[in-house]
Amino acid sequence: METWISGTTGLLCLLGSPVGHSGSPAMYNFSFQKQKIDAAYLAFDVKKDQMPQALDAMRLFKMRGANITMPCKNVAATLMDELSPAAKIIGAVNVVVNDHGKLIGHITDGIGFVRNLKEQGVAIKDKRLVVLGAGGAATAIQVQAALDGARQVTIFNRQDEFYPRAEATAKKLAKAAPDVEVVIEHLEAADKLKAAIAAADILVNATTVGMKPNDGESLVNPDFLRQDLVVADTVYNPLKTKLIEDAEKIGAKVAPGKGMLLWQGAAGYKLWTGQDMPVKAYQAFEA
């Protein structure tokens, strides 16, 4: 057995609840070992009301950083010493960097989404996006796309408790990215969805529809898709949703959620270590 943990090994961690299912410890520890970085990553089950203690422990143990997962992402944002522009707008944090006791909160979901598209040769600048959803993943994508210079972001959400979040995002983006046109529509209006997709460059499903155990479901009529539309999904379980399969059938470029997941993790790694995560090596190891 390799003895890669020593008296100088730095600690990073995942904080949230539950965390037992997380793939992050495997991914980050693989990457640290591969790049001979003297660090180890563990997952700690922490509830919302324990976050102040957990963050104090980060300072006490001089931990380099952490990931924050549900249900602690929003409360963590209120406890940071500083927030990235996207984390400030969204009010959520999934990566913490400990800069000599100063905790800086970032949100990398949107960064991972944009990077995943880049891997497919698709730039976000000046693009028109239709984003289905107004929850955590959707908001991160909408905000990052706007900050990265998308021309238009049209948000479709059903009339549920998430709908007001779309309105809040539009309000915040009007200040933070005034050149970006943000439109909000009801998902129930099929004619509006059809027209918006027809005018869009990129379509994103950022709802939970299509996720196991409801795989096989899609919010988009396959007739609304076309070959020169880029189709992305945030759902990574299953690896290919019905929407992604429908898009592939007509030869459209696709960006499934697994890539976004990997690249949002790589963005955190870069923030902690300054190095590019060995994504390709990890993908080969995982396969």
The residues that are catalytic are 73
Specify the stretch interacting with ligand NAD by CB under 6 A; choose among 5-13, 18-26, 136-144, 193-201: 136-144
Under the criterion CB under 6 A, does residue 157 sit at the interface with ligand NAD? yes
The yes or no reply on residue 91 touching ligand NAD (CB under 6 A) is no
Sole window of 42-50, 57-65, 132-140, 276-284 interacting with ligand NAD (rule: CB under 6 A): 132-140
Asked if 211 is part of the footprint of ligand NAD (rule: CB under 6 A), the reply reads: yes
The correct pick among 138, 145, 243, 255 for binding ligand NAD (CB under 6 A) is 138
**Does residue 39 contact residue 9 with C-beta atoms inside 8 Å?**
yes
Q: Which residue of 19, 87, 129, 235 would you call a contact of ligand NAD, by CB under 6 A? A: 235
Task: Provide the CA 265 distance to its chain's centre, in angstroms.
Answer: 9
Burial class, 226, CB count within 10 angstroms (exposed 0-12 / middle 13-18 / buried 19+) = middle
State the nearest-atom distance from the C-beta of 165 to ligand NAD, in Å.
Answer: 8
**The token pair that represents 144 in the structure block:** 């990052």
Residue 133 binds ligand NAD (CB under 6 A): yes
Considering only 39, 68, 109, 114, the residue that binds ligand NAD (CB under 6 A) is 109
**Which listed residue (10, 16, 105, 112) binds ligand NAD by CB under 6 A?**
112
* Closest C-alpha among 96, 80, 171, 82 to residue 134: 171
Least Å distance, CB 83 to ligand NAD, is 19
Select from 45, 56, 160, 286 the one that contacts ligand NAD (CB under 6 A).
Answer: 160
Instruction: Based on the shown chain and the rule CB under 6 A, indicate whether residue 17 belongs to the binding site for ligand NAD.
Output: no
User: Which DSSP string do the residues of 76-108 spell out, in sequence order?
Assistant: HHHT-SEE-HHHHHHT--SEEEEETTEEEEE--
Q: CB within 8 A of 276, min separation 6: which ones?
A: 266, 269, 270
Cβ pair 196, 156 in contact under 8 A = yes
**Does residue number 134 form part of the binding site for ligand NAD (CB under 6 A)?**
yes
* Bridge partners (DSSP) listed for residue 154: 130, 183
The answer to whether the CB of 130 falls within 8 A of the CB of 104 is no
Residues in binding contact with ligand NAD, number by CB under 6 A: 26
Tokens linked to 70: 């549900």
Q: Taking CB under 6 A as the rule, does residue 69 contact ligand NAD?
A: no
* Chain centroid offset of residue 80 CA: 19
Q: Which residues bind ligand NAD (CB under 6 A)?
A: 109, 112, 133-138, 157-158, 160, 162, 187, 206-209, 211, 219, 234-236, 257, 260-261, 264
